[in-house]
Amino acid sequence: MKITLFGIPLSPYVRKVRATLAYKNIPYEEVFVIPSSPDQPEEFKANSPLGKIPLLKIDDRYLSDSSVICAWLEREFPEKPLLPQDNFDAAQALWFEEYAGSVMTTAMAAHLFAEVVLAKAVFNREPIQSDIDKALNVELPAIFDYLEPRIQGHTLLASGFSMADIAVGAISTAMLHSGHSVDPKTWPNTARYLSGLLEGELFSGLIAEEKQLLASFGIG
């Protein structure tokens, strides 16, 4: 089986798939694709119905959407499961994946990373300060307030490391690249959890690669 991942590592959705592949020790190739770029490969344009990343190619078949891709990886490669055996815990892991992909992505990627990191260097415009202020003063505090009482030691679920941690780590990396972190005095559980998650073996390698990519763009 040959697996190819289309996308750019700086995307939180691509990062989620890369982290899942790394966790399960699945070899794959990468094809660099920037959303909305006119230079996208024809193969990508022909097989990504919404024109979004990531796209996963499995031999001569294709899957779109990070959650769909991760669900396939979980079923195809069950040896290192990311969904707990307990049905309620599995549903909770999927909920955190949804929360990370919607609420957290809006704050950390769309309003923070895009404006702090990409606006001038990539979009050739001034950052939208109101988006940055909204993320820092409204959205992120609400997210941390939600996560704080739900942290279970080093993971989000008492049953252990799961897709919940993969998804939350994937988007929280965008906050890290933006130069922001969690105030440990206000949210000690969340600060400890995210620090351990992003500095751990799984994400630290991905983050190091992404910092090199940002540097190649003249960022950082």
Per the structure, the complete domain to which residue 68 belongs is given by 3-76
Question: Same domain for 174 and 148?
Answer: yes
What are φ and ψ of residue 136, in 5° steps?
Answer: -70, -35
Q: Are residues 41 and 144 in the same domain?
A: no
CA 59 to chain centre: 25
Q: Considering only CA atoms, which of 18, 187, 219 is closest in space to residue 113?
A: 219
Q: How far is CA 88 from CA 74, 157, 159, 194, in A?
A: 17, 11, 11, 23
Cβ neighbors of 188 (< 8 A, separation 6 or more) are none
Cα gap 30→48, rounded to integer Å: 15
CA–centroid distance for 13 within its chain: 5
For 157, half-sphere exposure in the C-beta direction (CA atoms, 13 angstrom radius) is 26
Whether 81 maps to a domain, the answer reads no
pLDDT in tens, 100-136: 999 999 999 999 999 999 998 888 899 999 999 999 9
Residue 141 CB burial class (10 angstroms; 0-12, 13-18, ≥19): middle
32, containing H or E segment: strand 29-32
| Residue at 57 is within a domain | yes
Question: Cα(206)–Cα(204) distance, rounded to whole angstroms?
Answer: 5
Q: How many degrees, rounded to 5, is the angle at CA 165 between CA 212 and CA 22? A: 50
Positive or negative, the CA dihedral 144, 205, 199, 176 is negative
Is 110 inside any structural domain?
yes
Do 105 and 191 lie in a common domain?
yes
User: Once rounded to an integer, what is the mean pLDDT over residues 142-169?
Assistant: 96
What whole-number percentage of the chain has pLDDT above 70? 100
pLDDT tens-place string over residues 32-82: 999 878 889 999 999 999 999 999 999 999 999 999 999 999 999 999 999
For residue 219, give the nearest of 184, 63, 211 by alpha carbon. 211
Mean pLDDT estimate for the chain: 95
Partnered with residue 4 across adjacent β-strands are 29, 57
Query: Average pLDDT of 151-166?
Result: 94
Residue 97, domain CATH: 1.20.1050.10
For residues 93 and 68, state if they share a domain: no
